[in-house]
């Protein structure tokens, strides 16, 4: 057993780094691929479902994979500051890795639409958090212009190093399964991650590390489904604030992935997302944030299309602790409060 010291060291030969690159890492990656017995049973017909629990990364989301690369390269290139637009997770990751690299981080967020845990992270890491009176797409347009005009490096997923880092999740899935899955279900916002996974699978395939290539199944939320609808959405909305995006930065790439993998984009309703969120927690013991549950909502929505005995991986992009308010609001369970501090009262509440 070798010591894990982050994905750049683990997959160095597949990444655009050299001996000159200062590796900025929090030892991200190497997240578990967990068999999902209840979901497998719900799909039936011998289908095996796994979840790739990327919420176990150091800042609690898959963004750490992209950020270790983007920040290492920014440091190598002599940057002094980085900037991103974010629905929350990118800002948490950028802030943390910027600290490690000794860079200043600026983050633009849509005012009122970032989950509590993510906001808490960016603030505690010491980033400059700027809340914009607008949505993610407005924030993104602003940071693009700012990075063009001022000496700050843009670390959104249009930064090519982001996808290079994120593609390692596909390597890990293959290393863990012994081959690529038949299907990969993944939530889609800016469509960076689906593009990165596809890059990773293709690269591993070229190196004979896997025999199969998966069908890439991308899922957007109904109120924020520009790729499914085929046009930008002006005022995107969904309970899954992480993917509340109306004009994805990697739209063209996403269509190419759909084409090359014979994949599909579909939309899932907030109700379906929340149901999958509860199923993951109550039947699998896995706590993810609502946006991540879109992959499982999608799986359950299109399950009849899955071939018998196929292997499916659902990507769980973010940790449930990121968004405690959603959990409390949608758990369909309540704290039994006001119980007296005596054995009899507790036993009665317990049903004994």
* Residue 220 touching ligand F0G (CB under 6 A): no
Contact status: 88 vs ligand F0G (CB under 6 A): yes
User: Does the annotation list 44 as a binding residue?
Assistant: no
State the minimum distance, in angstroms, from the CB of residue 249 to ligand F0G. Answer: 8
Closest approach of Cβ 92 to ligand F0G, in Å?
A: 8
Number of residues that bind ligand F0G (CB under 6 A): 22
126 is in an annotated binding site: no
CA angle 296, 228, 212 (to 5 degrees): 55
Per rule CB under 6 A, is residue 319 in the interface with ligand F0G?
no
- According to DSSP, the β-strands at 215-221 and 183-187 are parallel
> Contact between 192 and ligand F0G (CB under 6 A)?
yes
Residue 197 and residue 216 in contact, taking contact as beta carbons nearer than 8 Å: yes
User: Rounded to an integer, what distance in angstroms lies between the CA atom of residue 279 and that of residue 330?
Assistant: 12
Rounded (10°) CA dihedral 15, 18, 24, 26: 50
Report the sign of the C-alpha dihedral through residues 267, 317, 300, 215, in that order.
positive
Q: Token digits for 75?
A: 């440091």
Query: Does 238 interact with ligand F0G (rule: CB under 6 A)?
Result: no
Q: Counting contacts by CB under 6 A, is residue 187 touching ligand F0G?
A: yes
- Is 89 one of the binding residues for ligand F0G (CB under 6 A)? yes
The residues in 11-30 that bind ligand F0G, with binding defined as CB under 6 A, are none
| Residue from 170, 191, 268, 310 in contact with ligand F0G (CB under 6 A) | 191
Of the candidates 326, 336, 202, 338, which has an alpha carbon nearest to the alpha carbon of residue 276?
Answer: 326
Rule CB under 6 A: say whether 129 interacts with ligand F0G.
no
Strand, helix or coil at 48? Answer: strand
Show the 3-state SS of 287-339: CECHHHHHHHHHHHHCHHHCCCCCEEEEEECEEHHHCHHHHHHHCCCCCCCCC
Near ligand F0G by CB under 6 A: residue from 29, 58, 117, 189: 189
Residue choice 59, 68, 135, 157 for contact with ligand F0G (CB under 6 A)? 157
Based on CB atoms, which residue is closest to ligand F0G, 86 or 95?
86
- Specify binding-site residues for pyridoxal 5'-phosphate: 89, 189-193, 317
């Amino acid at each position: 057993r070798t010591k894990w010291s982050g994905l750049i060291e683990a997959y160095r030969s597949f990444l655009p780094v050299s001996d000159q690159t200062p590796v900025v890492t929090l030892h991200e990656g190497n997240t578990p691929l967990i068999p999902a017995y209840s979901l497998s049973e719900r799909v039936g017909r011998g289908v095996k479902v796994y979840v790739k629990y990327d919420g176990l990364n150091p800042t609690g989301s898959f963004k750490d994979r992209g950020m270790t690369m983007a920040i290492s390269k920014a440091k190598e290139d002599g940057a002094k500051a980085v900037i991103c637009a974010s629905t929350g997770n990118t800002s948490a990751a950028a802030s943390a890795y910027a600290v490690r690299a000794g860079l200043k981080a600026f983050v633009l967020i849509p005012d009122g639409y970032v989950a509590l845990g993510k906001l808490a992270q960016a603030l505690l890491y010491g980033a400059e958090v700027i809340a914009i009176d607008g949505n993610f797409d407005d924030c993104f347009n602003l940071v693009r212009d700012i990075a063009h005009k001022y000496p700050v490096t843009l670390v959104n997923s249009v930064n090519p190093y982001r996808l290079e880092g994120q593609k390692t999740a596909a390597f890990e899935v293959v290393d863990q399964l012994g081959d690529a899955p038949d299907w990969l279900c993944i939530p889609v916002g800016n469509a960076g991650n689906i593009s990165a996974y596809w890059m990773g699978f293709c690269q591993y395939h070229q190196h004979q590390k896997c025999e199969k290539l998966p069908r890439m199944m991308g899922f957007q939320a109904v109120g924020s489904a520009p790729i499914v609808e085929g046009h930008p959405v002006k005022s995107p909305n969904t309970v899954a604030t992480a993917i509340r995006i109306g004009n994805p930065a990697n739209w063209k790439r996403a269509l190419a992935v759909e084409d090359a993998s014979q994949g599909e984009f579909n939309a899932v309703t907030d109700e379906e997302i929340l149901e999958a969120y509860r199923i993951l927690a109550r039947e699998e013991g896995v706590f993810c944030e609502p946006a991540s549950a879109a992959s499982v909502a999608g799986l359950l929505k299109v399950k009849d299309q899955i071939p018998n005995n196929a292997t499916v991986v659902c990507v769980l992009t973010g940790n449930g602790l990121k968004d405690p308010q959603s959990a409390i609001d949608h758990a369909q369970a309540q704290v039994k409060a006001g119980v007296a501090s005596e054995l009899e009262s507790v036993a009665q509440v317990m049903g004994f």
